[in-house]
Chain A
Amino acid sequence: MSEFDAIVVGAGPAGSSSAIKLASSGLSVLLVERADPPGSKNVSGGILWGNELAKVIPDWEKNAPLERFVVSKGTGLLTDDSLISIDFRSKKLENNKTGYSVLRAKFDQFLANKAKASGATLVTGVTVDKVAFKDRKVIGVEQEGDVISSDVVILAEGANPRVAIDSGLREPIGDRDVAIGIKEVIRLPETTINERFNLRGSQGYAGEYVLGFLKDGVKAGGFLYTNKETISIGAVINAADLRANNSTYSYNIMEQFVTHPFIAPYLEGGKVEEYSAHLVCEGGIKSVPRLSGDGYMIAGDSASLGFSNGLVIQGMNYAITSGIAAAEAAIEAKTKGNFSAASLHSYDEKLALNYVLEDMKNFKGIEGVTWSSLMHKAVPRIAEKVFFDMFYETGEPKRHLSEILLESIAGSGMSKSQLILEAYRAARRM
Chain B
Amino acid sequence: MQIEEKLSLLNYKTDKGYEHITVKPDICAVCPDHFCTFACPASCYTLIEGKLNFKYEDCVECGTCFFACSHGSVAWSNPKGGHGVKYKYG
Q: State yes or no: do A and B touch (Cβ within 8 Å).
A: yes
Docked-complex contact B90 and A105, CB < 8 angstroms? yes
Which residues 89-108 in A have Cβ within 8 Å of B in the complex?
Answer: 103-108
Return chain B residues, CB-CB under 8 Å to A41: 61, 84-87, 90
B14 to chain A, nearest CB (A): 14
By DSSP majority rule, is chain A's interface helix, strand, loop, or mixed?
Answer: mixed
B64 to chain A, nearest CB (A): 5
Q: Which residue of A lies closest to B39 (CB)?
A: A250
Q: Mark B27-58, 1 if CB is under 8 A from A, else 0.
A: 00000010101111111000000000000000
Q: Known contacts being A246-B38, A250-B38, A275-B9, is A105 close to B1, with CB within 8 Å? A: no
Number of interface residues of B (CB under 8 A): 38
A-B contact pairs, 18 of them (CB 8 A): A34-B79, A39-B87, A42-B90, A43-B90, A125-B82, A127-B79, A162-B76, A166-B77, A173-B63, A182-B41, A185-B89, A230-B89, A243-B70, A246-B33, A250-B64, A255-B1, A276-B90, A279-B63
Q: Known contacts being A34-B79, A103-B90, A162-B77, is A274 close to B9, with CB within 8 Å? A: yes
A36 to B81, CA, bound (A): 8
Docked-complex contact A105 and B88, CB < 8 angstroms? yes
A138 to chain B, nearest CB (A): 19
Q: Which residue of B lies closest to A184 (CB)?
A: B6
By DSSP majority rule, is chain B's interface helix, strand, loop, or mixed?
Answer: loop
Q: Which residue of B lies closest to A124 (CB)?
A: B82
A186 to chain B, nearest CB (A): 10
Given contacts A41-B61, A41-B86, A248-B38, 9 further A-B contacts (CB under 8 A): A34-B79, A36-B82, A40-B87, A126-B81, A127-B81, A239-B39, A243-B68, A255-B3, A273-B88
Q: Which residue of B lies closest to A108 (CB)?
A: B90
Q: How many A-B residue pairs have CB under 8 A?
A: 144
Which residues 176-218 in A have Cβ within 8 Å of B in the complex?
Answer: 177-178, 180-182, 184-185
Return chain A residues, CB-CB under 8 Å to B68: 239, 243
A35 to B61, CA, bound (A): 11
Docked-complex contact A159 and B63, CB < 8 angstroms? yes
A185 to B37, CA, bound (A): 24
Docked-complex contact B60 and A35, CB < 8 angstroms? no
Q: Known contacts being A159-B63, A173-B63, A250-B39, is A105 close to B81, with CB within 8 Å? A: no
Of the candidates A104, A172, A243, A275, which one forms a contact with B7 in the assembled complex, judged by CB atoms under 8 Å apart? A275
A185 to B87, CA, bound (A): 11
Is residue A247 contacting chain B, with contact meaning CB distance below 8 A?
A: yes
Residues of B within 8 A of A (CB): 1, 3, 6-7, 9-10, 33, 35, 37-43, 60-64, 66-68, 70, 76-82, 84-90
Q: Known contacts being A108-B90, A251-B3, A275-B6, is A243 close to B35, with CB within 8 Å? A: yes
Docked-complex contact B90 and A44, CB < 8 angstroms? yes
Return chain B residues, CB-CB under 8 Å to A272: 1, 6, 9
Which residues 139-193 in A have Cβ within 8 Å of B in the complex?
Answer: 159-160, 162, 166, 172-175, 177-178, 180-182, 184-185
Q: Known contacts being A40-B86, A43-B90, A175-B67, is A275 close to B10, with CB within 8 Å? A: yes
Return chain B residues, CB-CB under 8 Å to A185: 89
Q: Known contacts being A180-B39, A180-B41, A243-B35, is A274 close to B63, with CB within 8 Å? A: no
A286 to chain B, nearest CB (A): 16
B89 to chain A, nearest CB (A): 4
Of the candidates A242, A249, A279, which one forms a contact with B62 in the assembled complex, judged by CB atoms under 8 Å apart? A279
Is residue A57 contacting chain B, with contact meaning CB distance below 8 A?
A: no
